[in-house]
């Protein structure tokens, strides 16, 4: 490639403000066209291999950024089972499928290892066709969904940036829109999404306290109380032998979704970022990496990066608050660590571009800040974090 990185400096002035020059790789139009054409050839070849192995094409549809309906594709094994299939819950112990978008992590997707440890079978890796052989060799073709790479085209997704780049570096919004289109086109009501880098589940929950000889489990810790590990239930790697049933846990979240007519994402917090002081649903916040989507209310994902936060805010603006469960959390790899995923995109465009995209998409709620010893972003969810779930009508023939 003939292009160069823009010279970059990020320094802090004496008054505490930041001075920076954007650290973004500049692609020429010729480079972009060449990369897109190369990607198309590789993915067409992957589709041909998959069809030769017996996978079948599923027609799906989605609206482009100008609201034109476009027919797209997905490819699955004939044994693929949608969640609206009879006796699905009896077979899998939960109501909905788990879709794990993945890129460049064949054999290195810890989420699948975790699901296997919990005896889960209704998981599917959503991948680029160009990586079909690698993922098939590691996980078997029965658990693969090949996505239509056209979902990453700027005509199909609002990237929130004027920085031009090859479609393969347009982030995950198009990938998640692919899952939304796939699930809706199959007639599913809801579906689970998990990033491919989840290591396991964890818990840090406040026990409560004794008052006048009685135990009060609903008493929260005061903000200035000193942390005492003996006051918390802690487990950094929850296992079935500890009495935890993963399918039952997922089904309980699904019950909340089925009983709610206006929920956005329903998901878990990353372990270590907050203390779960009591069992509660925090609404109107941001949810990412591990969540349940509702096909009736889910808007399209937006943003070349930070699409999870941008889309969570978009849900709240539409009166569909995301819900964050505070008790069980997930452990995952560092956001910008390792290979695969968005690692190439971070190295090309930098953390500042990641934050700027979010500011472009949600300027009323997000600003660029310093966090984790680097340029980052901070979101203000106070406008919407008092939103409440609204109950759904009860079907007497289909109790929750």
| Domain-embedded: residue 182 | yes
From 291, 300, 260, 290, select the one nearest 400 (Cα to Cα): 260
Give the pLDDT confidence of 374-385 residue by residue, as tens digits.
677 888 888 888
Structure tokens at 38: 């190369």
Q: What is the pLDDT of residue 398?
A: 66
What is the DSSP code string of 176-218? HHHHHHHHHHTT-SEEEEE-TTEEEEEEEEE--EEETTEEETT
Task: Specify whether the backbone of 266 is left (phi greater than 0), alpha (psi in -120 to 50) or beta.
Answer: beta
Question: What mean pLDDT value characterizes the chain?
Answer: 86
What is the C-alpha separation between 175 and 361, in angstroms, rounded?
18
**Spacing of C-alpha 188 from chain mean position:** 18
Specify the DSSP class assigned to residue 225.
P
From 115, 116, 146, 120, select the one nearest 131 (Cα to Cα): 146
What CATH number did the domain enclosing 35 receive? 3.90.550.10
Structure tokens at 197: 């880098």
| Domain-embedded: residue 14 | yes
- Length of the chain equals 400
| Domain-embedded: residue 364 | yes
> Is the predicted pLDDT of residue 153 greater than 50, yes or no?
yes
pLDDT band at 149 (very low <50, low <70, confident <90, very high): very high
Structure tokens at 140: 């078997």
Q: What is the pLDDT of residue 48?
A: 98
pLDDT band at 122 (very low <50, low <70, confident <90, very high): very high
| Domain-embedded: residue 212 | no
pLDDT band at 333 (very low <50, low <70, confident <90, very high): confident
Total tally of structural domains belonging to the chain: 1
Pairing of strands 209-211, 214-216: antiparallel
> What does the pLDDT average to over 162-175?
91
Percent of the residues in the chain that have a pLDDT greater than 70, as a whole number = 81
| Domain-embedded: residue 384 | no
**CA angle, 133 then 134 then 136, to 5°:** 65
| Domain-embedded: residue 237 | no
> CB of 100 within 8 A of CB of 125?
yes
Which structural domain, as residue segments, surrounds residue 36?
A: 10-203+243-379
Q: What is the pLDDT of residue 369?
A: 80
Please give the residue that has the higher pLDDT: either 235 or 79. 79
Strand partners, 214: 211
What is the C-alpha separation between 166 and 33, in angstroms, rounded?
7
Q: What is the pLDDT of residue 348?
A: 67
Look-up of token digits 């090859």: 166
> Is the predicted pLDDT of residue 10 greater than 70, yes or no?
no
Strand partners, 266: 292, 323
Q: What is the pLDDT of residue 230?
A: 75
Give the pLDDT confidence of 250-300 residue by residue, as tens digits.
999 999 999 999 999 999 988 865 555 567 888 999 998 999 999 999 999
| Domain-embedded: residue 229 | no
> What does the pLDDT average to over 206-225?
63
Name the pTM for this structure: 0.86
Return all residues near 381 (Cβ < 8 A) that are at least 6 apart: 284, 285, 286, 313, 316, 365
Q: What is the pLDDT of residue 5?
A: 34
Q: What is the pLDDT of residue 9?
A: 47
First vs last Cα of the chain: how many Å apart?
Answer: 57
């Amino acid at each position: 490639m003939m292009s160069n990185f823009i010279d970059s400096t990020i320094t802090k002035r004496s008054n505490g403000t930041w001075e920076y020059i954007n650290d973004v790789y500049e692609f020429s139009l010729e480079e972009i066209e060449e990369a897109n054409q190369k990607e198309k050839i590789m993915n067409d070849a992957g589709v041909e291999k998959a069809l030769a192995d017996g996978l079948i094409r599923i027609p799906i549809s989605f609206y482009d950024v100008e609201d034109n309906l476009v027919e797209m594709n997905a490819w699955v094994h004939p044994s693929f089972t949608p969640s609206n299939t009879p006796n699905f819950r009896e077979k899998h112990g939960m109501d909905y499928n788990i879709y794990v978008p993945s890129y460049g992590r064949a054999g290195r997707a810890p989420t699948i290892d975790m699901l296997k440890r919990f005896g889960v079978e209704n998981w599917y890796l959503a991948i680029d066709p160009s990586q079909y052989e690698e993922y098939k060799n590691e996980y078997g073709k029965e658990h693969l969904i090949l996505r239509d790479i056209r979902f990453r085209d700027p005509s199909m997704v609002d990237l929130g940036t004027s920085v031009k780049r090859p479609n393969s570096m347009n982030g995950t919004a198009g990938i998640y829109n692919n899952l939304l289109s796939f699930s809706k086109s199959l007639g599913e009501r809801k579906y689970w999404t998990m990033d491919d880098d989840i290591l396991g589940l964890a818990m840090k929950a406040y026990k409560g306290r004794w008052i006048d000889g009685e135990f009060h489990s609903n008493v929260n810790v005061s903000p200035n109380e000193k942390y005492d590990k003996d006051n918390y239930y802690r487990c950094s790697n929850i296992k079935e032998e500890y009495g935890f049933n993963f399918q039952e846990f997922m089904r309980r979240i699904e019950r909340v979704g089925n009983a709610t007519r206006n929920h956005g994402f329903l998901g878990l917090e990353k372990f270590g970022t907050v203390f779960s002081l009591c069992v509660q649903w925090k609404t109107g916040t941001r949810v990412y990496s591990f969540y349940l989507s509702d096909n009736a209310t889910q808007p399209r994902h937006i943003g070349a990066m930070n699409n999870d936060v941008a889309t969570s805010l978009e849900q709240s603006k539409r009166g569909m608050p995301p819900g964050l469960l505070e008790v069980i959390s997930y452990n995952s790899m560092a956001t910008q660590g390792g290979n695969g995923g968005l690692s190439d995109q971070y190295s090309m465009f930098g953390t500042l571009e990641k934050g700027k995209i979010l500011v472009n998409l949600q300027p009323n709620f997000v600003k660029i800040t310093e966090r984790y010893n680097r340029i980052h972003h901070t979101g203000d969810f106070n406008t919407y974090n008092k939103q409440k779930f609204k109950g759904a009508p009860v079907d007497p023939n289909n109790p929750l």
